[in-house]
Each structure stands twice: as C-alpha cells, then as structure tokens.
Structure 1
Amino acid sequence: MELEELVSDAIKGDDGAFVSLMQACKTDLYKTAYAYLRNEADAIEAVQETTCRAYQSIQTLQHPEYAKTWLIRIMINVCQTELQKRKKVTVHPFLEDERSVDHQHSTIETTEALESLSPKERELIHLKYIQDLTIRQVAEVLEMPEGTVKTKLYQSLSRLKRWFEKGDDQHVSK
C-alpha cells in the first residue's frame, strides 16, 4: 500500500493504517530524534511521544502527501521541548553519561564541526543531508521560503568547509 493511501486511511480512523504509517517512518523519526538528543533512550522516547501526538492529531493533516514532513516537524518540536527541559535542569558533570571513547577520529571531527554551527544550521544540514529531504520539504518543515532555505544551507555548508580547512589546533575555539 502506498504511503499516501496509508495516511488517507489513518486520517479516516484506521488504526492499522496509522501503525503501518509509523512503521514506514520510524527510522527517519529515530534518526531525527537521535541527531537532536544524542542518546538512544531519549530518541526512542521521543519517537513514542511523536507517535502519540501524531495519533491524537492525524485528522488535522490536510495533505496526505506531506505526512512524512508533518511527522518530522512533530519530532523536531518534541526534541526542542526536551532540550528546553534539559536547559532548566543542572546536572553535576561527574554524573553525566560517559560517551564511548572508541569513536573514529573522523566521527569526532564531524561532530565537532557540526557543533560549531548554530542549532538552526544543524537542523538544516540534518533535514537535507541526513533525512534526505528536498529543498521544498525542508522549507515546509521549517516553515520558511525555499530561497531562504537554499541561502541558509549554502551559508551553513560554507561554514563547515571553513571549519574543516582550519588546522586542528584552531577547532577548539568556536
């Protein structure tokens, strides 16, 4: 069954179609959540929260062809809410979860490069290159004109390029 058919059926109240829709989109939703929250358990919880919110409001989706974009927008909102909650809670540095030290050098470098970008720039890069959305879909998710998306994406990629062109010793300062 086509994704649009599943969405149409889900909008009409078919719970099985809704479950199938979520199954079809779960990998992209998880990747989005993990990119924001950087923790497997939190990402899974965000997928669950997104599923709940989507189920409660599926009837509000007016264009079935934009279902994936709609779900990703819900996921981004869930993640941003979670990140806002985290800012309000102070965690003692010795109690924070340790990250695996076995990351490859290039992965660490890429993570540092992405961290040098603003959250909005990281969001753009993630949607375009990780989620593989079109410029039009990114514009819809972020609710901005396509031209603005192109400009901001170009600027973000230019900043990443400059970051990688610098020597390792200069990466410490952002």
Structure 2
Amino acid sequence: MDLSEKAELAIQGDKEAFMDLIQAVQKSLFVIARSIVKNDEDCADALQETIAKAFTNVHTLKEPAYFKTWIIRILINECNRIIRKNKRVYPIPYDLRKTSYKGEYEQIELFEVIDDLNEELQTMVTLFYIEDLSVKEISKVLEVSEGTVKSRLFRARKQLSELLLGKGEDKYELS
C-alpha cells in the first residue's frame, strides 16, 4: 500500500494508517525541522506539534497524494512559530545530520557548505537536494511561485559553487 492509499484511510479516520504515514515521513520531517530550528528541544516541539496538528486536521487533506507536502508545510509553519517565539539561532551538530543519511565525510562537508547559505536558501537546498522534493512540491510547501523556487535554487547553486570552488574560477570548463 502506498502513501496515497494510506492517506485516504487516515482521512477516513484510520489511526493505524496515520501512524504508518508518520513513520514513512519521520526522517524527512526530522531533517527539515533540524535544519530550521537548530536545536533538539525546539526540533522535538516542532515535530510533536506538527504530528498533533496533522492528526487533528488530516480530514481536511484534499489530495491524499500530497500528504508529505501537506505535513511538511505544517512543520515549516511550526518551526517558524518557534523561531519567532525564541528569536535564537543554534549551530547544527553535524553528527546528528549525518545519522539521517548515509555517507561519512561527503555528507559532513556538504552540510558545512550548506550552512554557509542564508536560511532561505538552506531550506530550499535541503528540500530539493536532500529531501528530493520537486520544484512544484517546494512551491506548495513554502507557498511561493515555482519561478521563485527556481530562482532561489539558481542562487543557491551559484553560491554553493563559489563556496566549493572559489570565486573567479571557471567552474564549467573541463581541463
């Protein structure tokens, strides 16, 4: 049974199906929350509130195929609420992030470079490259146009390229 079928059951009130959905997306939710709120306590609060709100409002989900996008939007709103409330920033420990995804040194270096981007671009890169959401899905999650997503991804790629290869180097010419 795929996520969309489970989402349909959850919409109809099946608690087991809802729990299966949460288990299917929990790693993604953790990584996204961690990249936004930056500490364990706030991350746990955001996840808990997100799951509670999703459970209470799952009946309002119009398109079961978009369950993951829908719950990520709830999570981002919760994270933003926590940030507004706390008005603080914490560095993300790399060892926590690397447990979420395979690969040792490459992932650590990737997250170090992503951390050098501004928060808006960090979220965009995390959703597109790490969580593998499409431009259309990111557009729905962040409630911005697809053109905005594309331009921010372009800016992020350019900044990442400069951070990785240095400014002024010809990045596209093969030796």
Establish whether TM, by shorter chain, passes 0.5. yes
Relative to the length of structure 1, the TM-score reads 0.78
Tell me which residue corresponds to 2:172: none
Tell me which residue corresponds to 2:77: 77
Q: CA RMSD in A?
A: 2.9
In structure 2, C-alpha distance between the alignment counterparts of 1:4 and 1:45, rounded to whole Å: 26
Matches within 5 A, 1:57-136: 57-87=57-87, 110-111=110-111, 113-136=113-136
In structure 2, C-alpha distance between the alignment counterparts of 1:25 and 1:117, rounded to whole Å: 25
Tell me which residue corresponds to 1:147: 147
Tell me which residue corresponds to 1:172: none
In structure 2, C-alpha distance between the alignment counterparts of 1:79 and 1:50, rounded to whole Å: 9
In structure 1, C-alpha distance between the alignment counterparts of 2:133 and 2:36, rounded to whole Å: 17
Tell me which residue corresponds to 1:170: none
Structure 2 counterpart of 1:63, one-letter code: E
Deviation sequence 1:117-157 (CA, Å, 0-9, x none): 22211111010011111112111112222232112201111
Q: Does 1:27 find its partner at 2:19? A: no
In structure 1, C-alpha distance between the alignment counterparts of 2:108 and 2:2, rounded to whole Å: 39
Tell me which residue corresponds to 1:56: 56
**Which ranges of structure 2 fall in alignment gaps of 5 or more residues?**
99-103, 168-175
Change (3 A) 1:134 1:107: closer
**Which ranges of structure 1 fall in alignment gaps of 5 or more residues?**
168-174
Identity %: 35
Task: Give the count of matched residue pairs.
Answer: 160
Cα offset, 1:107, TM superposition: 6.7
Structure 2 counterpart of 1:128, one-letter code: F
Relative to the length of structure 2, the TM-score reads 0.78
